Structure 1
Amino acid sequence: MHSPPAAASVLALDLGGTKIATALLTPDGDLIGEQVLGTEPERGPDEVIKRIFELGHRSLDAAGLSRPAAVGITSGGPLDPIRGILHEPLHLPNWHAVPIGPLAAAEFDAPSTLANDGYAAAWGEYCFGVGRGARTLLYLTLSTGVGGGAVIEGVPYRGATGNGGEFGHLTVRSGGRQCSCPRRGCLEAYCSGTSIAARARELAPDRPTITARELVALAGSGVPWAFDLWDETIALLADGLTSLINIFEPDRVVLGGGVANAGPMLLDPLSELVAELSLSATAGSAIMIADRPGRSGLLGAGSIALRPVPRPDLPTQPQVSHV
């Protein structure tokens, strides 16, 4: 049962490449008044921002609130979390220096916070999701792209300019498929919902609109080409995840995003393979699906505003010292 919205509830805005979503996050971690639309990024930043703000007002109306205590916004990067500016995000082509933070603060008459979506989702899962009680947590979102974040000994890892934790751009196949970034063979190029669907269309040109969800269903029903593609996806995800586990030695790994809705079809073979590949000292990391895998972005967006973490003033560009 949802907690009633309180004056301390915050408005969560999740700006994804496939969908935009809004909801109120209560102090108890409930999401109320969820609204979702397709992003349609080709319509440009002005139109997309107008639409996500309209959804935000609908969420407030559904919760019976006139204004939130604060607004939390997440998006893929690169971004400037101090000034609230999106700098050419990889999932939103032709967006250049969009000041979404200040725009949201003015629209909703409340302070705003902007954070990388993977970073925020890691914090959201740590505060309100299956990551509660963990000491060190890794989070991967398998969605339009592959994002990531880490909470290390209770402190979210941010990076020099607030864009750290881009686990999706870990190389898993040298010289492989072109990624959304300038490189080839990244985890995102194989394990995002976008890339899974693209690879499925290449193998089955008679299915020009197949989605990642449909591919998983075909694999589960034993269609050979679909099973092989899904098996390759699991193997490459296991390679990337094993490298991260060997580096961080987390006690918990959380998977979110639309692809994580595959549930046991994803979790069971992935956990078995990672256990085989990991160094013995790090093989005990528990891999889990988020309670609300398609809503981790909203949970993260709200969490960064509802439970802000102490942070230094981050420079907008890395500072390099010469010793």
Structure 2
Amino acid sequence: MQNTDRYVVGIDLGGTKIAAALFNADGEILNRERMETAGLCTAKEVVQRMEDMIHSVSKGYPISGVGLASPGMVNSRDGIVLQGTNLPEWSNVPLKQWVGEALGVDVEVVNDANAAAWGEYIRGAGAGSGNMVYVTFSTGIGAGIVLDGKLLLGANSFAGELGHNIVEPDGPACICGNNGCWEMYASGTAIREAALELMESRPSMIRELAEASGEAVSARHVFEAHKQADPVAIQVVDRTVHYMALGLANAIHTFNPDRIVIGGGVSKAGDQLFPALRAETDKLVMKAYRGTYEIVPAGLRDDVGLIGAAALFHA
């Protein structure tokens, strides 16, 4: 084994699972593990499991760093998770300090959306761009911004919360405490809610598709029905595309990216989504911005958090 290589471990901490992987200097995964977090009661217990996984995936390799992607509000400069998501007692957890002291290596901690953005920029669909906006349309909307080749953190490491930009001041209440946030109109959850509301007064095959799959109505069923020209699905998708484009236009006017990378479950709609999204965004941006950016699907799929966390050391 060559000890001159630069091995790092990436950790993707989720609300229900932990994924860990060992990477070489070329960004290739050499070993990986995954475990559920169910049954772990404290932050200390979760971190201990993370440390055990790091030891396991890196056994026999001299690691030089650990990159950690965490959900929630993260102070990346100090490596502290200020407020976690779906994890017990996950508040003001000094991840950088705990893991660094336990393993004796450099540790970097970022919000999971920022990790995904950095992963796409370094290894995925954002590679080769100079200024990139990454947006994931899923249960909510997450985002990360890379400007002039650097991940934008902001004064408190909170930059990139585009999902909570307000697009309709009189809109529905969001979990953040405001009304009319972008994710209330353009997320996978918003697609589902819009479909359910319309189906209260109009027939649609969306419910039939959901029942046939044994699942609750979701954005996936809406796009399946849209493919079959279901009128309700067409209306929901058209509305969603408009609001997605509205938020992207705001991001384009703010950050002037040359590339926008779209991830998350909604992006799996592929050609049902992207041509219309590009056209609608082009309608909404100021004329000078047209032709200065491209909108592309994400390239890294489920490993994006792991790759982005590790890439904090490979950039």
Q: Against the structure 1 CA distance between its residues 272 and 13, is the aligned structure 2 distance closer, same or farther, given a 3 Å change threshold?
A: same
**Equivalent in the alignment of 1:259:** 266
| Equivalent of 1:123 in 118, 122, 128 | 118
Which residue does the alignment assign to 1:156? 151
Question: Shift of the alpha carbon at 1:274?
Answer: 0.6
Q: Cα gap change, 1:42/1:70 in structure 2, threshold over 3 Å: closer, same or farther? A: closer
SS at match of 1:263: helix
Distance change >3 Å, CA 172–CA 111, structure 1 → 2? same
2:105 to 85, 110, 133: 110
- The structure 2 residue matched to 1:299, chosen from 289, 294, 307, is 307
Aligned CA distance change for structure 1 residues 50 and 135 (closer, same or farther; 3 Å): same
Does 1:10 find its partner at 2:8? yes
Q: Which residue identity is paired with 1:180?
A: I
Cα deviation code 1:259-296 (max 9, x no counterpart): 32332233222111111211111122101112113332
Deviation at 1:118, TM superposition (A): 2.7
What is the CA–CA distance in structure 2 between the aligned matches of 1:32 and 1:305, rounded to whole Å?
A: 16
Corresponding residue pairs, total: 301
Q: Does 1:287 align with 2:282?
A: no
Pick the aligned partner of 1:180 from 175, 180, 203.
Answer: 175
Paired residue type of 1:29: G
**TM-score, scaled to structure 2:** 0.80
Q: 1:101 to 1:272 in 2, by over 3 A?
A: same
Aligned-residue offset at 1:177: 2.9
Query: Residues 241 and 31 (structure 1 numbering): CA distance in 2 closer, same or farther, change over 3 Å?
Result: farther
User: Structure 1: which 5+ residue stretches go unaligned?
Assistant: 308-323
1:278 maps to 2:289: no
Q: What residue number does 2:226 align with?
A: 219
Return the alpha-carbon distance in structure 1 between the equivalents of residues 136 and 94 of structure 2: 24
Q: Percent identity?
A: 34
**What is the CA–CA distance in structure 2 between the aligned matches of 1:194 and 1:49, rounded to whole Å?**
31
Structure 2 unaligned residues grouped into runs of 5+: 200-206
Compare CA radii of gyration and give the structure with the larger one.
2
In 1, the alpha carbon distance for the partners of 2:62 and 2:122 equals: 23
Code of the aligned partner of 1:123: W
Shift of 1:43: 5.7
Partner in structure 2 of residue 73 of structure 1: 68
The answer on whether the counterparts of 1:113 and 1:304 sit within 8 Å (CA) in structure 2 is yes
CA distance in 2, matches of 1:88, 1:275: 37
Return the offset for 1:35. Answer: 4.1
> Comparing 29-38 with 163-172, which one deviates more in the overlay?
29-38
What letter matches 1:252 in structure 2?
A: R
Q: Is the 8 A contact 1:135 1:153 kept in 2?
A: yes
**Counterpart for residue 241 of structure 1:** 248
Distance in 2 of aligned mates of 1:81 and 1:140: 19
Structure 1 residues 96-133: Cα deviation after superposition (integer angstroms, max 9, x where no partner) = 11222233334544221001223333322222222222
Q: Are the structure 2 counterparts of residues 32 and 87 from structure 1 closer, same or farther at C-alpha, using a change threshold of 3 Å?
A: same
Question: Among 104, 115, 130, which residue is 1:135 paired with?
Answer: 130
Deviations 1:287-315 (A, max 9, x none): 111211333222211111333xxxxxxxx
Give the Cα separation in 1 of the matches to 2:235 and 2:13: 32
